[in-house]
Structure formats: C-alpha cells, structure tokens
Amino acid sequence: MRRMGLILAVLLLPLNSCNSGDNDRAKPSDGSGNSAAVEVAFPNLSFNLPLYFGHAGDNSGRLFVVEQEGVILVFDSTSATTAVDTFLDIRDRVNKAGWEEGLLGLAFHPSFETNGHFYVNYTAADPRRTVISRFTASPASTDHADKATEQIILTFSQPYSNHNGGCLEFGPDGLLYIATGDGGSGGDPQNNGQSRTTLLGKILRIDINSTEDGNQYAIPDDNPFAGATDGSRGEIFAYGLRNPWRVSFDSENGRIWTADVGQDAIEEIDIIEKGKNYGWS
C-alpha cells in the first residue's frame, strides 16, 4: 500500500529585515514577491490511497478523508491530531479490482447538520457498475455512520474497469452533480461520450430531495434534456467528457470547473456549461 500524509501549502509574506534568521532558508517564489513553502498539515496521520479531503459544512471542525478501498475517516482539524475514527467502512460493497475503481466520491447534504445525510460514489461488481448511494450518520454519534442505512439512489453499468469519474458535488442550487467517465478502455470504443442515451461521459445533475417515476431522485425541470423525446437522458447536464475526475464550484460566481483526464498527450480543464458538448471522443 502506498501511504500518504496530507500537506498544506502556506503562502508566506514577502521577506524583510524584521523577519527572523529562519527565513534565510531558500523558498520558491511565485514571481509576485511572495514565497511559497510546504508544511505537513497533520504530521501524526497517514492514509491508504486517499482520494478526497474535505469537511461536512457543519461547523464541527472535523475533516474527512476517503480511502479508495472503501473507507471514510474522520478527525479533528488540528495539527496535533493523533488519531482518526472510521466514519464509514463499506469495503465489503466496493469493488476495487482495477486501479481506477473503488470508493471515488463523497458529498455531504447541504443540511447534513440536521439530517445526517451524505452521498458516496463507488464501483461494485457482479455486474460491474457505478453506485450512487445515500447514507445517514448515527444520531448517537455523528462521527459514525451505519452502513445499514444505505439507500441506493442511482446505478449504471460500467463496461470496463477504468474511466469511472467519481466526483460528487452539491451545487449552489442545492442539486447533486455527478461526474461520470466514458466507460473505459481507450478511445471511447462505445462512443459513450457523444451518446445522450447513456449516463457515461457526462456531468449529471439530479434533485435528491424529490422522487419521481419510481426513482429515488427527480430530474430538474431546467436540465437541458429534461422531457426529451429522442432518448436523451434527462439527468444529463453536459456531455462529451472522457473521465471528469474532479469538479469544483467557484465560490465567487458559481462557475463549474472540471478536470477531465486526457488520453496520451492532452489534459483538459473545462468550465462546464448547461447542455454543452465537450467534444470527446
């Protein structure tokens, strides 16, 4: 197992004669007169294959780390922290036969502080598929979630072991955004990126606070293909993506940034717009 510690990049003020002699150490410059250094944020902790690091938005001061094999850990956000708790362990449900499979995404409900709901994205086997599920943190201790509370929201087949996307994010609109890869192999042999009849190779957007048509979610009325009669999936927000690995909402303007893993030579950073085709393959 590769073991990793989390690091924190610290922006330092410009050096001046009033600083202590410790500042004589060479530090890389970003060209602006400021200097950057790297510090170990949690020197007493290490993790196995960590893929996500964040907080629950509940002002608890806790941080969460997702480990690819199927574990979510929780700990206090102080550098002196020496121990972690297991928030959720679903290794018995997660398939990580391939390098890009596993527990790949985590998103806390905007009302997590009151309802305890959080959502995960993982790959499962027999048949090979992606699972989007909701779990609920234990009322007795929000540091633990019972895996028996799993409510499966959405599943879809994966033809190959790679290109699973995996990111989950709640947008400023309160809707859940799901990044999905093109299904894998190389060169998108099934043309999933361009096909609007499949959920693969897309950014999806669903309303998890409602249900409709027998699903554990609803399709927002303003999704670009909501109500389409040509077979296009209403869950699609944008398409033509290869393996959108991480998604982030700009806190200043709500713009959606996505890192789409490229093939052979080119990587993409895309600004995602509703209904847009990003060209893959």
Q: What tens digit of pLDDT does each residue of 228-262 get?
A: 999 999 999 999 999 999 999 999 999 999 999 99
Q: What confidence tens digit (pLDDT) does each residue in 106-158 have? A: 999 999 999 999 999 999 999 999 999 999 998 878 899 999 999 999 999 99
Residue bearing tokens 């209403």: 234
Please, are residues 65 and 50 in contact by the beta-carbon 8 Å criterion?
yes
12-46 residue pLDDT tens: 333 333 433 344 444 555 566 778 899 999 999 99
Question: Residue 47 — pLDDT band, cuts 50, 70, 90?
Answer: very high
Please give the pLDDT value at position 34: 78
115 close to 108: Cβ distance less than 8 angstroms? no
**With bands split at pLDDT 50, 70 and 90, how would you rate the model's confidence at 70?**
very high
Question: CB–CB of 133/168 below 8 Å?
Answer: no
**Percentage of residues of the chain with pLDDT beyond 70:** 89
Predicted model pTM: 0.88
Cα distances (angstroms) measured from residue 8 to each of 23, 38, 59, 79, 173 = 18, 6, 20, 11, 30
